[in-house]
Amino acid sequence: MSLAGSRPGGRGGFLSSRQGLLKVGRVLATLAVTLLGLLLITFLIGRVMPIDPVLAVVGDRASNEVYEATRKAMGLDQPIIVQFFTYIGEVVRGDFGTSLLTSRPVIEDIARVFPATLELATVATLLGVSLGIPAGVMAAVHQGRWPDHVVRLVGLFGYSMPIFWLGLMGLLIFYGKLDWVAGPGRLDIFFEDVVPQVTGVILIDSLLAGDFEVFANALSHIILPASVLGYYSLAYISRMTRSFMLEQLAQEYITTARVKGVSEARVIWGHALGNVMVPLITVIALSYASLLEGSVLTEIVFAWPGIGFYITNALLSADMNAVLGGTVVVGIVFVGLNLLSDILYRVFDPRAR
């Protein structure tokens, strides 16, 4: 009897494990196809750009013999499909070539500049989340009244104003006129290389070193560009929070909780916002990913030495190894954060499982 009873359970466990493996396999296959598409796009960009990579290496005064020898050494004499698979193998090994601008391996340059972008995007996301979620909740609670109109107007400005103009106005007012914050750059020049680099994130490294003067200077530099980026994050997160909250506040369980005498604060911030946080995880993750890949203009305006600033300088110098390497890394980070948001959504929402 016990044997017969154990068979369904064992069969069910086998099916459950098999279904789980199939889901993981589908996710990995989707991830592989996405990354392959990213590599294909960047490879084609490198081939259709009106920049000769051989001339960029040897110069326009090189002889034909030197040009052909360099072209062969770079593998550009091979069929295009062979070049593509060679490119994939190099990327898998982390080999993006050597930067013409810095004469260092591109992967080393990216490892040096990416923490600056990570730091900027993280602070901006924290500002956007800490202000955007409460703003969206208040807009939903006071739908059709002045708090709702103010939040929606702020969000509209966030989507409408060009980020480079907002950054320039911020520098003019808060740095040039009021002198409330530090100017462009990541640190004042006499604070550079004062604290040892552990994580590459100056705010963290200065705290680890116990140097609060460097921390204060770094904070003064990052607050304005992070606020500019955070404003866009705030606009997006507040709009999505408002939409999710309006949907939840119209549900029957909210009416039931109010009828039972549950306080309005608990109904809003406990019940409704608790259910809203599950889809908001995806919104926040995608917002964070978009800041990591879309901070180019902000980094240029504020001379922030991140990956966007690095790619822009490389493009202006016809350094295609650096441009394509930086693009691939940003794309991989975006895909990874998208995958992470999907995993977190399934973890925190039983219905998705």
Give SS3 for 105.
strand
94 Rama class: left (phi>0) / alpha (psi -120 to 50) / beta: left
C-alpha span between 353 and 349 (Å, rounded): 7
C-alpha span between 16 and 13 (Å, rounded): 5
Does 304 have pLDDT greater than 50?
yes
**pTM of the prediction?**
0.82
Question: Average pLDDT in the 313-333 region?
Answer: 85
Q: What is the crossing angle of helices 2-48 and 80-92, to 10°?
A: 120
Does 43 have pLDDT greater than 50?
yes
How does DSSP classify residue 98? B
* CATH code of the domain occupying 106-352: 1.10.3720.10
Interacting residues of 321 by C-beta distance below 8 A, sequence separation 6+: 53, 96, 97, 98, 99, 100, 106, 314
- In this predicted model, what pLDDT tens digit does every residue of 78-117 receive, in sequence order? 888 888 888 888 888 888 888 878 888 999 999 999 999 9
C-alpha span between 60 and 83 (Å, rounded): 24
In the block, residue with structure tokens 């909780």: 257
C-alpha span between 81 and 37 (Å, rounded): 14
Tell me the backbone φ, ψ of residue 274, rounded to 5 degrees.
-60, -40
- In this predicted model, what pLDDT tens digit does every residue of 48-86 receive, in sequence order? 776 677 776 776 777 777 877 877 877 777 888 888 888
C-alpha span between 338 and 353 (Å, rounded): 17
- Per-residue confidence at 6, pLDDT binned at 50, 70, 90? very low
> What is the pLDDT, as a whole number, of residue 216?
92
Does 40 have pLDDT greater than 90?
no
C-alpha span between 102 and 98 (Å, rounded): 8
Interacting residues of 57 by C-beta distance below 8 A, sequence separation 6+: 70, 74, 100
**Is residue 253 a contact partner of residue 191, using CB atoms and an 8 Å limit?**
no
> What is the pLDDT, as a whole number, of residue 218?
92
Quote the tokens at residue 353.
């499982």
Alpha helices by DSSP H, listed for 161-211, are: 163-170, 202-209
C-alpha span between 156 and 32 (Å, rounded): 37
Tell me the backbone φ, ψ of residue 52, rounded to 5 degrees.
-85, 110
DSSP string, 125-175: HHHHHHHHHHHHHHHHHTTTSHHHHHHHHHHHHHHHS-HHHHHHHHIIIII
Q: Name the residue ranges covered by the structural domains of the chain.
A: 106-352
